[in-house]
Amino acid sequence: MSQIRDRSTLLLAMAALVAATFAGGYTGLRQAPDPDAHGVAAFGDHDRDRDGGQSAGGEEEGDEGPADGDDWFVQQRVFPNAHLDLGAALGAARGEAAALRAGAAGNAAALAVPAWQSLGPANGGRITDIVADPAHSGVFYAAAASGGVWKSTDGGSSFHYSWDTGQVQAIGALAVTGTGVLYAGTGEANPGGGSSSFPGNGVYKSTDGGATWQNIGLAGTDRIGRIAVDPADADRIFVAATGSLFTPGGPRGLYETTDGGATWQLVLAGGDATTGAVDVAISPGSSNTVVAAMWDAYRTPSGRTYGGTGSGVFKSTDGGATWSRVGGGLPASSSNLGRMGIAYAPNDASRVYAIASDTTGDFLGFWTSADGGATWTQPSTSSTLSGSQSTYGWWFGRIWVDPASAQHIWVAGVSMLESANGGSSWSSGSSFHADQHALAFDPTAAGHVLIGNDGGVYRSTANGSVTGSWSHATGLANMQFYTVGVSQQDPTRINGGLQDNGSVRSWSSWGSYYGGDGLQNLIDPSNQSKVYACSQYGSCGRSTNGGSTVRNFGSTTSARRAWLTPLALDPTTPSTVYYGGSQLNRSTNSAQSFTSISPDLSYGDGGTSGVYGTISAIAVAKTDGRVIYAGTDDGRAWITRDTGGTWTEITAGLPTRWITRIAVDPTDADTAYVTLSGYRTGDSAAHVMKTTNGGATWQNVSGDLPDAPVNAIALDPRDHARWYVGTDVGVFSSSDGGTTWTPVGSGLPLVSVADLQTAVSGASLVLTAGTYGLGVYQITLP
């Protein structure tokens, strides 16, 4: 125990890291709308700001505050290794998972292995880029933050999956040539998005409209912000590689190929080991003139550094052979200069635009040049423009210019901003989901524009007017689930919590019924009309009519509440609800009121962050409801045998990792399983642990599982000796005590499985997986 307690300095470092805030801009606590006794909690693109009012979009404003879900996602995986190379670790895990799949595939035909079925929802999650295919009318491609590439053949009205299910699913950038050759850069450059949770492994190429893909290099770049194809030479391509966010050095900067990706050359390196490229544009007047935005960005145990002296815009007039920093009014090198974006007017090579945020994410400025970038002016100091960036301009950094009008521009922000006069005045759009990341023009249809944001793809036929009418594209099942609940009476009845898109329910066309970011969701096993849903930091609601009416939980006692605050129901008395903050709370009346039944079960948060040092897993024994297990995000495990009267720590023998789930054998309260996150760093860092004596001793049963976080575990209700786990690289089962693990079924993409639930239907087992990037998958096992 002393070895674990000595980690206080590490916990302080992690707390400081969280306090600095991280990803996607949730720099303040964002509460869900308060549901009342008369109706459903509202959910849309407006959330409460720090003053209690309504902010303009889905991301919270604030100067300081706890980190958001992407930070939670990353910390869960790297703890306690603050400098872990996530890209390399995940790449190795993918290789191990592929080997296990290949071994199982040989027996698939003979064994008639069942297939996973995608259940959606297809409402659309975070989109990072969109391109139109100039060679094929009505064809668009959309890049998903953690859900692959999607294709539309009807002008953006609907999309279908067009990526390799066995490859990394995090996509940061797309580009297409005049003949329809498609390029995809993996890993999201928006820090703290899919890139941080699931880094990429280079650039892919498709010559058949996305049907098949070939990796053409730049593995190790981790995050790719932009790809630009020379319109005069389709084999000449520039790739802006941002590089690893957590490890200095490695492949990063602006790369060029002149042979369609057969070979690559670094043409612009950063001024230091933490600077990469995030944006690139080729002048429409001369392919020898190229501009690139470099970004100095790095995470350390002591905080976030999203800017530095390496940031800025650089220009080459000799095809990339030599480069010089662009001045003339643009920011000079500074420790306060953050992310910048750059764009040429397609019909006027003299007109260029740039945008910048500072190191903290505050808006720094918007500039335009009328002489090809020699001199720059700031056409507007509009509060609409600056406000759209909130305090996390590094989440956006994009500009688009109308191909037919050099003065008609769009800027990404919480809301999409539009200017018809080169940036002198701005209009703000709010008729679609918040947080804008992508925009594309249809080259074959005037006025046809698509945008991509945290809620999918939207389509306009009014030349992209942000105050006009937009239609929401269908078919985009790139949704990021944290948890799912499944009815024991009807396994098709599913609810779940979604990043950026609230808590949703399948029995109402996957509509949202509880606001904020969707986190923990449950369905009462004895009554499918009783449902529970939470948003970030433990704001939860309860319903007795399937979510049509939602009421707040009763008051709970806790010093800290995590981004994903866990809930658990007593399996024999489901009206008994458990809520885990830093203390465990218990309700005996379906969450109407709670009583604290534990002290602080964590090591604490070091007094700085307020969101770590919390309970992360809860399980109640079916044979004895007085027996409760609890695990924390800092690696502590506990058991009580008298409903919280006394607690015994059972941490000894467990690896120091974030505890993700606990499952108790339904026939024996002393037999339990603990799953843990964090990539392996040695023999001691197991993923699945088992006890048969209530935690007095633990056995490592992770066997030959891939070296990746295990996010969930489920026991087969028909055969408790068969276990299922959901990992960052798929679903696996074991029936030999954890010595060997086999991939479950066929057809499940290589995507992170965040939650796993079981239900019995007749003689069959229905297994439901909530994935973080491709929605819900379900399989029926004999």
- Cβ neighbours, 10 Å, residue 696: 13
At residue 703, the pLDDT reads: 94
CA distances, 461 to each of 55, 155, 469 (Å):
28, 10, 8
Q: If we measure between CA atoms, which residue out of 687, 618, 620, 621 comes closest to residue 654?
A: 687
What average pLDDT does this structure show over 348-361? 96
**Torsions phi, psi of 484, nearest 5?**
-135, 150
Q: If we measure between CA atoms, which residue out of 680, 673, 681, 676 comes closest to residue 738?
A: 673
pLDDT tens for each residue of 246-263: 889 999 999 999 999 999
Choice between 313 and 685, residue whose per-residue pLDDT is larger: 313
Whether the CB-CB separation of 196 and 74 falls below 8 Å is answered with yes
Alpha helices in 396-499 (DSSP H): none
Distant-in-sequence, close-in-space partners of 150: CB < 8 Å, separation ≥ 6: 141, 142, 143, 144, 159, 160, 161, 162, 163, 475, 476, 478
The residue written with tokens 């707040």 in the block is 552
Dist. CA 138–CA 155, nearest whole Å = 4
Report the interhelical angle of 86-111 vs 69-78 (nearest 10°). Answer: 80
504, β-bridge pairs: 496, 512
Peptide bond before 121: cis, by omega within 30 degrees of 0? yes
Q: Which two tokens stand for residue 94?
A: 């993918």
Dist. CA 361–CA 306, nearest whole Å = 8
Dist. CA 734–CA 104, nearest whole Å = 13
pLDDT tens for each residue of 484-532: 999 999 999 999 999 989 999 999 999 999 999 999 999 999 999 999 9
At residue 457, the pLDDT reads: 98
25: pLDDT strictly greater than 60: no
Choice between 8 and 411, residue whose per-residue pLDDT is larger: 411
DSSP string covering 352-375: EEEEEEETTS-EEEEEEESSTTSS
CA distances, 675 to each of 88, 97, 660, 769 (Å):
22, 18, 6, 16
Dist. CA 293–CA 342, nearest whole Å = 7
**Helix, strand, coil % (nearest 5) of the chain?**
10, 35, 55
CA distances, 652 to each of 378, 635, 672, 699 (Å):
61, 10, 15, 11
At residue 720, the pLDDT reads: 87
Three-class SS state of 72: helix
At residue 58, the pLDDT reads: 30
Q: What is the pTM of this model?
A: 0.89
Q: If we measure between CA atoms, which residue out of 479, 430, 481 comes closest to residue 458?
A: 430
What average pLDDT does this structure show over 663-671? 97
pLDDT, averaged across the chain: 88
The residue written with tokens 């796993």 in the block is 756
At residue 226, the pLDDT reads: 98
What Rg do the C-alpha atoms of the chain give, in angstroms?
25
Alpha helices in 301-423 (DSSP H): 383-388
Q: If we measure between CA atoms, which residue out of 74, 26, 76, 147 comes closest to residue 535?
A: 26
pLDDT tens for each residue of 607-657: 656 788 999 999 999 999 999 999 999 999 999 999 999 999 999 999 989
Dist. CA 419–CA 427, nearest whole Å = 6
What does the H/E/C string look like for 7-70? CHHHHHHHHHHHHCCCCCCCCCCCCCCCCCCCCCCCCCCCCECCCCCECCCCCCCCCCCCCCHH
pLDDT tens for each residue of 683-718: 445 689 999 999 999 999 999 999 999 999 999 999
659, β-bridge pairs: 676
